[in-house]
Amino acid sequence: MADRIIAFDINAARVSGAADGALPKAAVPSPSAGPRAPGRAKARAELASAYAGLLGAEVPAADILEQMLLAVGEATAAVTGGQAGEVQPEHIAAVLRVAGMTASVEMIDRLTPGQWPALAQMTSGQMVLVVGQDGDTLFVYDKTCADQRAEVPLGDFAPYFSGRIIRARTSLRQLENRHNANADRAHWFWGAFRAQRRAFAEVALGSLFANILAVAVAMFSLQVYDRVIPHKSEATLWVLALGALLALMMEMALKLARSGLMDMAGRKIELGVQNLLMDRLLGMKAAPGKRSPSQLFSAMREFSSVREFFTASTIGTLADIPFIFVFLALVASIGGNLVWVLVAGAVLMVAPGFLFQKKMIALTQSTQGASARASRLLHEAIYEHETVNTARGQDRFKRIWDELTTLSAVKSSEQRKLSSVLTYWAQMVQQATYITAVVIGTYKVFEGEFTVGSIIAIGILTSRTLAPLTQLAGTLARWSNVKGALEGLDAIADADQMQADDRSYLRAERIAGEFELRQLDFKYDAEGATTVDIPALRIPAGQRVAVLGANGSGKSTLLKLLAGIYEPQGGRILLDGVDIGQLHPRDLRRSVGYLSQDVRLFSGTLRDNLNLTQLERDEDRLFKALDFAGLGPFVRSHPRGLDLILGDGGAGLSVGQRQSIGWARLWLQDPSVVILDEPTAALDTTLETTLVSRLDSWLAGRTAIIATHRVPILALTARTLILQNGRMAVDGPRDAVLAHLTKAKAGAGQ
């Protein structure tokens, strides 16, 4: 019988050379899981990818593996309940959720057909993808079989099944995107409120009861003056007083609960919107000349005004406004036509706020424009301080700063003045309405139509009715700032993305690197000159090409087009025979390495700057990358080593050291296509010679496109292109082109 047992134990799988999902036979299970088998994480990523495919979601195993390793690196044994560094079912479920599905880890005690497809964990820790079940037979995914599934008797499977499964389902959003092409996409900000409908419904319900209880004070005054005092009924007085106090306490409790609900909902909305904005910001397509970094920075900073606007007090004010009509109805039941005084007062309170909205928005836009330019100037003054001083630009910066701060101060002052006018106007009208109601009520008392209690009750209700409108006036005054901030953030939320939500991409886990350009055209300004204009060009996979040309000839722009950073305005770029725009951005960034002439570093440690993907957990690999780039001896001799603190922009390192870190990043990426823009311009001669000798073997089998003016790195290339004013002037073998250039230079010198 043991011959027929399918062994799902990891020890048995290791003995037979199998991994997760494989079906080695004639192996005896062991009670111990043993150490991790090599490649288990990759095998589990392939299983998760196959499982996602069964549910209609195309997620390559490479993407899942990256997310899985990231989750394992961040998790702790306390969270997962397993050994640190081991891929657990919770990690797999988290990765499937990142892919847009709903996934959970469940415990089951019976194997039934309705539970599949799912990933099942065996007692050894091995994962198996169960596709379906027919009676006492399970169908298990096995890519070695003709139809990619094997039949396993339930009796052979059950003894080694741990009872844990990972179940995933396609989310409603995925279904909408897949089957409803015309579905309206929710607004990036207002759509976030939809997810908190239940919380806002509870807030509205709390407001209803809180406002009903608020009537208790007015009713208490009415009853005391009209019934208790004339009859000198002390018992009734205390009963009414205790009832009113109880109502006040209940109102306070409801308002506290309402405030807590609004704070919780607001926090969820803020976190969701902030994450969405950062995702959109990081996923933007490069749009040179269309938006400046200072504008984006200023827009993101303005979100604080949006957050402060949608606080508990503002939402509470808006939630109380519908109940104004309840109070008006109560005033009408007590004072009859006197209610129209309150209606007139309410209209006079809020009308100016709506009438002055256009002017408030214009002032806000002026203030925000000056603020954005001041932010840019301040950034330049701080980060380019040496240049400002050595170029004697202090007076110019002072003049522009004075102009911007003066403009901002004047416009802000006008804005605050108008806001104060609206607020004080609302307060004045509220008090005038109260006085008018009391005066009219007094005449009604003279005529015997009202009682003193009625006047007092109406006075209290007047204040309670118009109080939300006073707050509304201030809210309208601040709305212009919020609207301006939202319009600025729209530029981020609605910006074209490298990975568009409304389309699917071709997945390519490996890119060979064959380029073909057809009628390529690119310009930075629609009305300016063409920067790159190449009718036709083909670069075979594995070829090393040098791109030469004078400054401004379009070399760097061409390289950014080939790297997929810029999009051409005309023509096509084919990579491995496919338009580069069809390839998934994740695959493009994984396989196409780009090293610019200006390597940007970030504040933090050297380790952080090397491990930007957060996937590198092996310090030996980090040191190998630094050795390759020529920075290894410096880091090893430094007291902090990989924990060396880098300042903003890599302050503390030389330009050459920063370029070496760029080379180390490229080595860690290990791309199949390498695009280099003046990659050794900042290196000294010795390091450049050493690096070039290492590159000769490292570039073997890779497509390399190098823009350079340095002779040593030209020795690595076999073909040379020369650009002139964005057009191809020369294309030929390296030696022939260099000989031609030498001859032309010699002829020009005679």
Which of 603, 589, 592, 568 minimizes the C-alpha distance to 673? 592
Q: Given this model, what pLDDT does residue 699 score?
A: 93
Q: How far is residue 152's CA from residue 143's CA, in Å, rounded to a whole number?
A: 15
Q: How far is residue 247's CA from residue 245's CA, in Å, rounded to a whole number?
A: 5
- Most confidently predicted of 275-279, 509-513, 576-580, 738-742: 576-580
Which of 430, 469, 463, 429 minimizes the C-alpha distance to 218? 463
Domains recognised in the chain with CATH numbers = 2-179 (3.90.70.10), 190-493 (1.20.1560.10), 515-749 (3.40.50.300)
- The arithmetic mean of pLDDT across residues 99-117, rounded, is 85
Q: How far is residue 208's CA from residue 538's CA, in Å, rounded to a whole number?
A: 71
Question: With 50 as the cut, is the pLDDT of residue 5 above it?
Answer: no
Tell me the H-state helices in 611-700.
619-629, 632-637, 655-669, 685-698
Question: With 70 as the cut, is the pLDDT of residue 39 above it?
Answer: no
Could you report the per-residue pLDDT of 458-495, keeping only the tens digit for each?
888 787 778 777 777 767 767 777 777 777 788 788 88
Q: Are 166 and 92 in contact (CB under 8 A)?
A: yes
Q: Given this model, what pLDDT does residue 745 score?
A: 66
Q: Are 520 and 571 in contact (CB under 8 A)?
A: yes
Q: How many CA atoms lie within 13 A of 153 on its CB side?
A: 8
Q: Which amino acid is at 409?
A: A
Which of 486, 447, 228, 257 minimizes the C-alpha distance to 336? 447
Which of 708, 703, 649 minimizes the C-alpha distance to 677? 708
Average pLDDT, the chain: 80
Strand segments (E) across 540-685: 544-549, 570-575, 578-579, 592-595, 604-605, 645-646, 673-677
Write phi, then psi, for 715 (nearest 5 degrees).
-65, -20
- The arithmetic mean of pLDDT across residues 666-687, rounded, is 92
Q: Given this model, what pLDDT does residue 176 score?
A: 60
Question: With 60 as the cut, is the pLDDT of residue 20 above it?
Answer: no
Which of 166, 73, 72 minimizes the C-alpha distance to 120? 166
Q: How far is residue 25's CA from residue 44's CA, in Å, rounded to a whole number?
A: 20
Q: Are 514 and 540 in contact (CB under 8 A)?
A: yes
pLDDT band at 557 (very low <50, low <70, confident <90, very high): very high
Q: Given this model, what pLDDT does residue 727 score?
A: 92
Q: How far is residue 266's CA from residue 196's CA, in Å, rounded to a whole number?
A: 9
Could you report the per-residue pLDDT of 348-375, keeping only the tens digit for each?
888 887 787 777 777 777 776 777 788 7
Rg of the chain in Å (alpha carbons): 36
Residue with tokens 């009715």: 465
